[in-house]
Amino acid sequence: MSTRPIATTRSATGIPTGKLAVWWVVGSEIVIFGGLLASYVMHRLGHPEWAEYASHTNPWFGGINTFVLLTSSLSAVLAHHAAEHGDGKKAAKWLVGTCFGGLIFICVKAVEWTIEIQHGYTITANGFWQFYYTAAGLHAMHVIAGCVIMLIIANDARKGLELHRVELIGIYWHFVDIVWIFLFPLLYIAK
Amino acid sequence: MAEHEEHAEHGQSHYVRIWGILLVLLTVSILGPVLAPHIEEAAAGVGAAFVKGWMITLLTAFGIAIYKAYLVAANFMHLNIEKRYISYLLATFLTLMVLFFAGTSPDVMKHKGQNWENVAAEAEVDRALKSQESDSHGGEHN
Amino acid sequence: MDVAKQGAARVGDDPLNGIDMAEAGSVTVDTHEAHGHEAHHEQSFWSKYVFSTDHKMIAMQYMFTGIVMALIGGYMSYAFRMQLAFPGESVPGYGLVSQGEYNALVTNHGTIMIFWVAMPMLIAAFGNFLIPLMIGADDMVFPRINRLSYQIFFISAVVLIASFFVPGGGFGGAWTAYPPLSANAQYNLTPLGATFWIVAVALEFVAFLLGGINFITTLMNSRAPGMKMYDIPMVLWMIVIASILFMASVGPLIAGAVMLFMDQVIGTGFFDPNRGGDPILWQHLFWFFGHPEVYVVLLPAMGIVADVICTFARKKLFNYKLILFTVFATGIISFFVWAHHQFVAGIDPRMANVFTVTTLIISIPIAEMLFLYIATLYGGSIQLTTPMLWALAFIAEFLIGGVTGIFLGASGADIYFHDTYFVLAHFHYTFFPIAIIGFYAGITYWFPKMFGKMMNEALGKIHFWGTIIAFNCIFIPLFILGAAGQHRRIYNFQNFPDLAGLQDMRVFATMALIVMLAFQVVFLVNFVMSLIKGKPAGKNPWKANTLEWTAESPPPHGNWPEGLPNCYRGPYEYSVPGREEDYWPQNAPPDTAPAE
């Protein structure tokens, strides 16, 4: 392992380098999801027939998943809180808890999609469902990626290393949560 | 809690409180479409006929989503104590998406305009609506 | 290793380290900083050249990949220009160009030159090389992400090249990849080529997002103590603003790439109007990125030119702040102009009015910048070295590109000019100065710093005049052809009686292209010869001010092993009255004689 360059430790803006980078990551993600969701909204408003397609989604699955993600966000922020107080072990525990939330989210999604696909609502069924699977799928990939990174960070945090990273993954996770907060009404509620 | 630091207690309870508010909001947003027709009726009863069901749904769905996103961003992502320009930065990225929507929607959302018509899209809307109508006449429950 | 780790941990404990040092001011050599470095030891070939995390080596990797891709892209242009000049005849060194191959060559020439030449050479190569050196840091802030960025970029290049060798051949739906042609293998006949193409482009975006985050964060956080906002060399501002523009605009296209990929592979109908999609949506997604992208590659070239003309006019940059604010304005306005590419695509005519106005507005800041550059030259003691010639050529040639853009930005005129060779000549008059002239200005200027040797001036000037004259001979005829109504994307003009008579001009342009490509050999020879037996450059051969010239040439790992420099003034303090020397390095403490 190479050591960190001096450049990384400087902070002319007053924001630590890693955190600054995460904010830029969040910014670039906003435009990725923004572009996709803007495209979806345009189509949804321009196609009255999509209302009927959309009525087949199950808001209970969406609601449960929103609950799960909101709770995992709480767990992520508690991990940050613990890390701030130098308690790496506790931070790691909360992070693993957050990951567990991500796992439940993916499992619920798997059950939900299986039922939908069995009913014939596949990605090629029509315009609504292709956006539904693309947007939710892109989001689910972010959840999975976040879980993997979180486990790595939790492993370090457990040994008391790189505790500042707990906050960074937290910011990313909250962003993923916010994306879902918007996906939920767009895909499940507005009918 | 193992260590009873006063500050820590305060911080943690704050996060839990925010989480509670988020869950209440979630419940409201799920119940919104269910209650909307009743609210519309009740409003008409007390003379506020301008209140329509779709307004309620829109408010409970997206108004609440925006507020939830604000709560998470401010309290969990700590934008409230972060340097201000980070908020401006993220707001700029969001504004760009509004710009994208504004520039693109006249062509994509609408199928007809000044001296132009998106014939293929109109045909698809027609076809789909007709087939949905015949489906529902055929007694298929959705 | 342990010592190094401790050093790093100690520095890392104090996030405000940089600020403290800035307040300390006069401390030039901070001893505990030096411990942060890896102990110098012999590195194997792989860890030194291939898996290096050193920003200079990554810059070299980007640059040489870019040069190789430029040669491939140039070879493609040779093949399809020969087909146009001598239709149906076998092209020496290529063979017969079939219709499908012609499409694939044109498409990939465009894609390669924008995404695999202009971007890696201008942003990634110069960005990686210059940012840490010019701000007085030892490396980028995330060296391993930097390495990952290059590796993804390299894979993307391999995927793109591979698309030529899959069944069906390379993608031929133009670099803008408009659906339904790009979305449906029934139409484009390249089921795999089209998918490889979109995957390669998406990977390239990921590489530049990673690189961009690195550039932005490094410039924001890791400046030398004392370097304030207005002390940053203009080229860095421009590279970083370009990275921000890229990051802010590419998102919708990444989403669009996912959608197009699914249309191709899974059979969704995002861009199929018969299934509730919309092909115009792709054009919006593409150009919402595509137009800021023009400024993404323009700005770094503009920045390189700014630094070069200041050094060789021995004059302060004329109104640094105004140039900077002009760049900000350009960046913001660049988001409001994208639909001028779509005037004939069936967009709402009322939107066309709006976009005409915004497009004409954006020519104002660009013209303003060129005026400010000319004002910088005014009254300077100009040295016509090779980099200066390239910089001056940039201003002159880009001006032509900009002025011809006015015709295309006005929606009325664009209806006639759209998709003719006029458009083609216009954007080559912008992209050639950006990608090629800008690159040559930069490489001839920083070659001594990169490799420690001077380039040969005589060969450099031969290369310059040969390239510039040949370039104008290629594209001025194409303006005339375009105005005569010659459409782009046509395989053989002999099939069009109205256009067949203009064949002489096509042959002339093709000959000029061959001459121009031949002159690039002069550059390659100069490059290699200078590497082997060029004069040693010393630290500061051009007597320039910016911090990179205070490091060794080439800079060692860590850039300033004896301690990182501090910064005391702006980057363009040339010919300051009352000073013996006509330059004043940024790191020289005030009220003393210039360092060394």
> Rg of chain A over CA atoms, in angstroms?
19
Angle of CA points C414, C419, C425, to nearest 5°: 90
How many whole angstroms separate alpha carbon C461 and alpha carbon C389? 8
The fraction of chain C above a pLDDT of 70, given in percent, is 92
pLDDT, tens digit, 9 for 90 and up, residues B29-51: 888 877 877 887 887 778 777 77
Give the chains touching C; criterion: ≥3 Cβ pairs < 8 Å. A, B
pLDDT surpassing 70 at residue C25: no
Whether C336 sits inside 8 A of B93 (CB atoms) is no
**What pLDDT score was predicted for residue B3?**
41
Tokens linked to C183 = 């979305």
| Number of compact structural domains in chain B | 2
Q: How many CB pairs under 8 A join A and B?
A: 137
pLDDT, tens digit, 9 for 90 and up, residues C427-482: 999 999 999 999 999 999 999 999 999 999 999 999 999 999 999 999 999 999 99
The residue of C278, C286, C328, C359 whose CB has the most chain B CBs within 10 angstroms, and thus the best one to mutate to test that interface, is: C278
B60 shares its domain with B17: yes
How many whole angstroms separate alpha carbon C139 and alpha carbon A83? 28
How does DSSP assign B61-105, residue by residue? Answer: IIIHHHHHHHHIIIIIS-TTTS-HHHHHHHHHHHHHHHHHHHHHH
pLDDT surpassing 90 at residue C4: no
> Any chain A CB within 8 A of the CB of B33?
yes
**Number of alpha carbons in the 13 Å side-chain half-sphere of residue C483:** 9
What residues of chain A lie within 8 A of the CB of B3, using their CB?
85, 87
Domain contains A2: no
Domain contains B11: yes
Give the chains touching B; criterion: ≥3 Cβ pairs < 8 Å. A, C
Place of tokens 């070939």: C45
**What pLDDT score was predicted for residue C41?**
55
Domain contains B83: no
Query: In this complex, which of B11, B57, B77 lies closest to A174 when CB atoms are compared?
Result: B77
Which whole number is the average pLDDT over A130-136?
A: 95
Closest chain B residue to A126, measured at CA = B128
Query: In this complex, which of A28, A43, A81 lies closest to B108 when CB atoms are compared?
Result: A43
Whether B114 sits inside 8 A of C350 (CB atoms) is yes
> Any chain A CB within 8 A of the CB of B102?
no
Q: Which fold has domain C340-534?
A: Cytochrome C Oxidase; Chain A (1.20.210)
**What pLDDT score was predicted for residue B7?**
45
pLDDT surpassing 80 at residue C293: yes
Which whole number is the average pLDDT over C91-99?
A: 94
Please classify residue C23 by burial: count the beta carbons closer than 10 Å to its beta carbon, then call 0-12 exposed, 13-18 middle and 19+ buried. exposed
Which whole number is the average pLDDT over C339-343?
A: 92
In 3D space, the residue among B69, C255, B19 whose CA is nearest the CA of residue A101 turns out to be B19
Positive/negative CA dihedral, B131, B133, B136, B137: negative
Domain contains A4: no
Which whole number is the average pLDDT over C6-11?
A: 38
Domain contains A6: no
**What pLDDT score was predicted for residue B56?**
79
Domain contains B49: yes
Tokens linked to A181 = 């907060």
How many whole angstroms separate alpha carbon A190 and alpha carbon A178? 17
What residues of chain C lie within 8 A of the CB of A2, using their CB?
38, 53, 143
What residues of chain A lie within 8 A of the CB of B19, using their CB?
70-71, 73-74
What residues of chain A lie within 8 A of the CB of C296, using their CB?
none
In 3D space, the residue among A102, A91, A78 whose CA is nearest the CA of residue A162 turns out to be A91
The fraction of chain A above a pLDDT of 70, given in percent, is 98
Enumerate residues 6 to 25 of chain A having a beta carbon within 8 A of any beta carbon in chain B: 13-15, 23
Enumerate residues 342 to 371 of chain C having a beta carbon within 8 A of any beta carbon in chain B: 346-351, 355
pLDDT surpassing 50 at residue C29: no
> Any chain A CB within 8 A of the CB of B21?
no
How does DSSP assign C372-415, residue by residue? Answer: HHHHHHTT------HHHHHHHHHHHHHHHHHHHHHHHHSHHHHH
> Any chain B CB within 8 A of the CB of C44?
no
> Any chain B CB within 8 A of the CB of C335?
yes
Tokens linked to C545 = 């001010």
Q: How confident is the model at residue C198 (pLDDT cuts 50, 70, 90)?
A: very high
> Any chain C CB within 8 A of the CB of B128?
yes
Residues of the domain holding B60 = 6-77
CATH number at residue A21: 1.20.120.80
Mean pLDDT of chain B: 83
Query: In this complex, which of C275, C346, C351 lies closest to B103 when CB atoms are compared?
Result: C351
> Any chain B CB within 8 A of the CB of A5?
no
> Any chain B CB within 8 A of the CB of A41?
yes
How many whole angstroms separate alpha carbon C434 and alpha carbon C438? 5
B64 shares its domain with B125: no
**What pLDDT score was predicted for residue C23?**
36
Domain contains A141: yes
3-state helix, strand, coil in chain B (%, to 5): 75, 5, 20
Whether C38 sits inside 8 A of A123 (CB atoms) is no
pLDDT, tens digit, 9 for 90 and up, residues C361-373: 999 999 999 999 9
> Any chain A CB within 8 A of the CB of B104?
yes
> Any chain C CB within 8 A of the CB of A21?
yes
**What pLDDT score was predicted for residue C42?**
63
Which whole number is the average pLDDT over B78-92?
A: 92
What residues of chain B lie within 8 A of the CB of A126, using their CB?
128
Q: How confident is the model at residue B138 (pLDDT cuts 50, 70, 90)?
A: low
pLDDT surpassing 70 at residue C322: yes
**What pLDDT score was predicted for residue B9?**
45
Chain-centre distance for alpha carbon C112: 12
B119 shares its domain with B56: no
How does DSSP assign A140-163, residue by residue? Answer: HHHHHHHHHHHHHHHHHHHTT--T
How many whole angstroms separate alpha carbon A100 and alpha carbon B64? 26
Cα distances (Å, whole numbers) of residue A71 to A65, B22, B26, C115: 10, 9, 12, 42
Tokens linked to C442 = 């930069």
> Any chain C CB within 8 A of the CB of A125?
no
pLDDT, tens digit, 9 for 90 and up, residues C533-567: 999 999 999 999 999 999 998 999 889 998 999 99
**What pLDDT score was predicted for residue C593?**
52
**What pLDDT score was predicted for residue B112?**
86
pLDDT, tens digit, 9 for 90 and up, residues C65-88: 999 999 999 999 999 999 999 999
> Any chain A CB within 8 A of the CB of C221?
yes
Q: How confident is the model at residue B10 (pLDDT cuts 50, 70, 90)?
A: low
Provide ipTM, 2 decimals: 0.94
Query: In this complex, which of A30, A35, A47 lies closest to C276 when CB atoms are compared?
Result: A47
**What pLDDT score was predicted for residue C50?**
84
**What pLDDT score was predicted for residue C27?**
35
Residue C438: φ, ψ to 5°: -60, -45
How many whole angstroms separate alpha carbon A55 and alpha carbon A65? 18
> Any chain C CB within 8 A of the CB of B104?
yes
Domain contains A8: no
Domain contains B51: yes
**What pLDDT score was predicted for residue C500?**
86
Query: In this complex, which of C18, C268, C285 lies closest to A12 when CB atoms are compared?
Result: C18
Mean pLDDT of chain C: 89
Which whole number is the average pLDDT over C401-409?
A: 92
pLDDT, tens digit, 9 for 90 and up, residues C253-266: 999 999 999 999 99
Where is pLDDT greater, at C562 or C24? C562
> Any chain B CB within 8 A of the CB of C178?
no
> Any chain A CB within 8 A of the CB of B111?
yes
pLDDT surpassing 90 at residue C39: no
Residues C4 and C33: beta-carbon distance below 8 Å: no
**What pLDDT score was predicted for residue C361?**
94
> Any chain A CB within 8 A of the CB of C347?
no
pLDDT, tens digit, 9 for 90 and up, residues C138-164: 999 999 999 999 999 999 999 999 999
**What pLDDT score was predicted for residue B45?**
79
Give the chains touching A; criterion: ≥3 Cβ pairs < 8 Å. B, C
Residues C207 and C152: beta-carbon distance below 8 Å: yes
Which whole number is the average pLDDT over C295-303?
A: 95
Whether C281 sits inside 8 A of A39 (CB atoms) is yes
